[in-house]
Amino acid sequence: MKKRDFVTFLSDYGLEDEFVGVCHAVMLRIAPHIRIVDVHHNILRQDIRHGAVVLLQSIRYLPESVHLAVVDPSVGSARRAIAIETGRGETFVGPDNGLLIPAAEDSGGIKRVFELSDRRFLLTPVSKTFQGRDVFAPAAAHIAAGVDPSEIGPPLAVDDLVRLEIPEAWVHDDHLHAEVLQVDRFGNLQLNLGRDHLEKVNIIAGGRCEVRVEGHRLQIPFGDTFAHVGAGEFVLIEDSYHYVSLAINKGDAAGRLRARPGSTAIVAPSPAATK
């Protein structure tokens, strides 16, 4: 197993406490040569799907690495700690709760999986509440230092892994049933649909559409940029990950609509546009 120069790190730990810093320190004591890329530490608390979405969207921009991801509401339970190797040579380390699966499958598919159980490569005693420090961070660092994951624990069957579904919008008659995948710090609502979904209901760039979310009914354009509309106005745009987002130019769409991840959105051509 070759050494890796990078470990990427995603979690719901936030930055108010010492958790991220301690995990950094544990990894650097084991593998002082590595550089750690902090992808995101403000994943919604215990929200596995949010972590999976962010990891999936980020993975194609990250260096060839060991990818450490910890969103672990069942910490201390019988859920397994795992390392996944992919067809592209990436290694993902984290809990067996579905968090790693979408990104791993997008990285050439799952090739091998191992349970992280050999205490020679963990910190002992293993805490029941902070296994990011005691299990995942040390395992990721050892793998980055050249330890083959097969040395850290037994193989697991790919079919036995916990799966996580990231829902996709679907067409019903002349409209789309969608939902909010995530909300960024600007209040933009990323929906689980792309330009190809909009085309199925005859919504094209520059056209107008109707969006219904959290009791609001909006008649807005599908624009190329936020500035397609005036300040304070709603617009539908294709974001940098090729999802469609509901936004307000220089405003906070989530705040105004009181929408959040999981909110339902109905998207259809504007009634005026169909006459």
Please spell the DSSP secondary structure of 192-233, one letter per residue: S--HHHHHHTT--TT-EEEEEETTEEEEEEB-SSGGGS-TT-
User: What mean pLDDT do residues 237-266 have?
Assistant: 96
The answer to whether residues 141 and 197 belong to one domain is no
The answer to whether residues 262 and 145 belong to one domain is no
Is the confidence at residue 160, as pLDDT, over 90?
yes
Confidence band for 218, pLDDT divided at 50, 70 and 90: very high
Is the confidence at residue 125, as pLDDT, over 90?
yes
pLDDT of the residue at 135: 97
Phi first, then psi: what are they for 71, rounded to 5°?
-130, 105
CATH number of the domain where residue 236 is located: 2.40.30.90
The answer to whether residues 54 and 16 belong to one domain is yes
Is the confidence at residue 243, as pLDDT, over 60?
yes
User: What mean pLDDT do residues 144-152 have?
Assistant: 97
pLDDT of the residue at 271: 82
pLDDT of the residue at 158: 96
The answer to whether residues 153 and 196 belong to one domain is no
The answer to whether residues 82 and 153 belong to one domain is yes
Last residue of a domain, one of 142, 160, 178: 160
What is residue 29's DSSP assignment?
A: H
pLDDT of the residue at 76: 81
Among 44, 40, 29, 47, smallest CA distance to 67 is for 40
Phi first, then psi: what are they for 171, rounded to 5°?
-90, 135
Among 105, 208, 119, 87, smallest CA distance to 163 is for 105
pLDDT of the residue at 205: 87
- Classify residue 254: in a domain, yes or no: yes
Q: Distance of alpha carbon 90 from its chain centroid, rounded?
A: 16
pLDDT of the residue at 18: 98
The answer to whether residues 189 and 61 belong to one domain is no
- Cβ neighbours of residue 156 closer than 8 Å, sequence gap 6 or more: 80, 82, 113, 114, 115
Is the confidence at residue 272, as pLDDT, over 70?
no
Partner residues linked to 87 by β-bridges: none
- pLDDT per residue over 73-98, tens digit each? 998 898 999 999 999 999 999 999 99
Confidence band for 273, pLDDT divided at 50, 70 and 90: low
- Classify residue 165: in a domain, yes or no: no
pTM over 0.85: yes
The answer to whether residues 64 and 22 belong to one domain is yes
User: What mean pLDDT do residues 135-156 have?
Assistant: 98
Last residue of a domain, one of 135, 160, 185: 160
CATH number of the domain where residue 17 is located: 3.40.50.10790
The answer to whether residues 180 and 252 belong to one domain is yes
Is the confidence at residue 66, as pLDDT, over 90?
yes
First to last CA, the chain: 63
CB 1, CB 147: distance < 8 Å:
yes
Q: How many domains does the chain have?
A: 2
Cα–Cα distance, 129 to 240 (Å, whole number): 36
Q: In this predicted structure, which of 204-208, 219-223, 266-270 has the lowest mean pLDDT?
A: 204-208
User: What mean pLDDT do residues 161-186 have?
Assistant: 94
What range defines the domain where residue 79 resides? 6-160
The answer to whether residues 193 and 242 belong to one domain is yes
Q: How far is CA 54 from CA 37, 76, 91, 242, in A?
A: 14, 24, 17, 13
Q: Distance of alpha carbon 76 from its chain centroid, rounded?
A: 23
Confidence band for 1, pLDDT divided at 50, 70 and 90: confident
Is the confidence at residue 139, as pLDDT, over 60?
yes
The answer to whether residues 138 and 15 belong to one domain is yes
pLDDT of the residue at 111: 97
- Classify residue 92: in a domain, yes or no: yes
The answer to whether residues 219 and 84 belong to one domain is no
Average of per-residue pLDDT values in the chain = 95
H or E stretch at 6: strand 6-11
Last residue of a domain, one of 110, 129, 160: 160
